[in-house]
Amino acid sequence: MQTIRRVADLRTAIAAYRADGDDIALVPTMGALHAGHMALVAEAKLAAKRVVVSIFVNPKQFGANEDLSRYPRKEMADSRILAEAGVDVLWMPGVDEMYPDGFATNISVSGVSDGLDGAARPGHFDGVATVVAKLFNQVRPDTALFGEKDFQQLAVVRRMVADLDFGIDVRGVPTQRDDDGLALSSRNAYLVAEDRAKAVALPRALGVAATTIEKGGDAGEALATARDTLTAAGFTVDYVELVDAETLGVSASDRARRLLAAARIGGTRLIDNVPVNEQG
């Protein structure tokens, strides 16, 4: 595996793959890799001859009071895991390489970015879209893989790729979960044992609400019950919402729907989502 930190060196490596006729899959990450990321790498290896994984903790997607400075950084361990998995390139630019002096561009994807985490974390999806656009232009992959755990992020990236004609096949990979159902996330490392035990209430509350709605129960009541269950379990709820799976706007039962939630426990903000299948 080549570890590359400069755009110019990345271009040379990518050009060599293209000269050999190899296709390329990109897995964008912020590091602190877990089995969820490795599921993306496994899919990437099936999708293309060459796999590039980026690790960049993107300051533009963290709000002023968020966890940028304490976000877990595990460069050595991540690098070893990726080499063992047969990744071709680890793309690991520094902040100055990604955002040199004078950097002034912002990509804002309206609509799909507006609600849910977009409302709770102003500017977050601009930061995500801007860095993902840069990563796409740096690597020029054929395919890019993102986890469904960050469902709104996936929708934002899909919208941007369609709107800006990136010509990249964006694939969502199902959420990987611990044995008790908690979605894998680098931020789970912040949970103390007591909060980790309580955190399972999040996937359970979503599962119960989804089943209720699928069986024809009242969606408003199901969402309210999920919020109450989470509050009783010790969470502070940001949102529990049923939305259209593509636009993330108002849901209609004849279109794919998704149930999304964000809630804090012990100072750690967790997100999760599940599909809501057709009634009947």
Stretch that binds ligand PAF, among 27-35, 70-78, 175-183, 207-215 (CB under 6 A): 27-35
Q: Tally DSSP H helices, then E strands, for the chain.
A: 10, 9
Stretch that binds ligand PAF, among 28-36, 115-123, 168-176, 239-247 (CB under 6 A): 28-36
Q: Say whether 37 is catalytic.
A: yes
* 174 DSSP assignment: P
Annotated binding site: 30-37, 61, 147-150, 153, 184-187
CB of 3 vs ligand PAF, minimal distance in Å: 17
Could you give the angle at the alpha carbon of 87 between the alpha carbons of 85 and 91, nearest 5°?
A: 135
* 213 DSSP assignment: H
- Per CB under 6 A, does 175 bind ligand PAF? no
CB of 72 vs ligand PAF, minimal distance in Å: 12
For the record, the structure tokens of 177 come out as 């979960």
Ranges within 183-222 binding ligand PAF (CB under 6 A): none
Q: Which is nearer to ligand PAF, 71 or 235 (CB)?
A: 71
Among 61, 79, 176, 212, binds ligand PAF (CB under 6 A): 61
Stretch that binds ligand PAF, among 25-33, 102-110, 170-178, 264-272 (CB under 6 A): 25-33
Q: Kindly name the residue from 10, 25, 37, 116 that is annotated as catalytic.
A: 37
Instruction: State the Cα–Cα distance between residues 176 and 146, nearest whole angstrom.
Output: 12
Ranges within 93-132 binding ligand PAF (CB under 6 A): 128, 131-132
E strand residue ranges, 70-153:
89-91, 143-147
Q: Which is nearer to ligand PAF, 28 or 141 (CB)?
A: 28
Instruction: State the Cα–Cα distance between residues 248 and 198, nearest whole angstrom.
Output: 28
Distance of CA 201 to the CA centre of its chain: 21
Among 28, 36, 141, 203, binds ligand PAF (CB under 6 A): 28
| Amino acid in position 52 | V
The Cβ of residue 57 has, within 10 Å, a number of other Cβ atoms equal to 17
State which H helix or E strand residue 199 sits in.
helix 193-199
Q: How many residues does the chain have?
A: 280
- Per CB under 6 A, does 58 bind ligand PAF? yes
Among 10, 26, 30, 38, binds ligand PAF (CB under 6 A): 30
- Per CB under 6 A, does 176 bind ligand PAF? no
For the record, the structure tokens of 153 come out as 């992020």
Instruction: State the Cα–Cα distance between residues 244 and 169, nearest whole angstrom.
Output: 21
Task: Give yes or no for a contact between 113 and 61, defined as CB atoms under 8 angstroms apart.
Answer: no
Q: Would you give the binding string for ligand PAF spanning residues 137-166, x where CB under 6 A is met? A: -------------x--x-------------
Annotated binding site for beta-alanine: 61
Q: Which is nearer to ligand PAF, 123 or 217 (CB)?
A: 123
Bridge-based pairing of strands 236-244 and 24-29 is: unpaired
Name the residues annotated as catalytic: 37
What is the contact surface with ligand PAF in residues (CB under 6 A)?
28-30, 58, 61, 128, 131-132, 150, 153
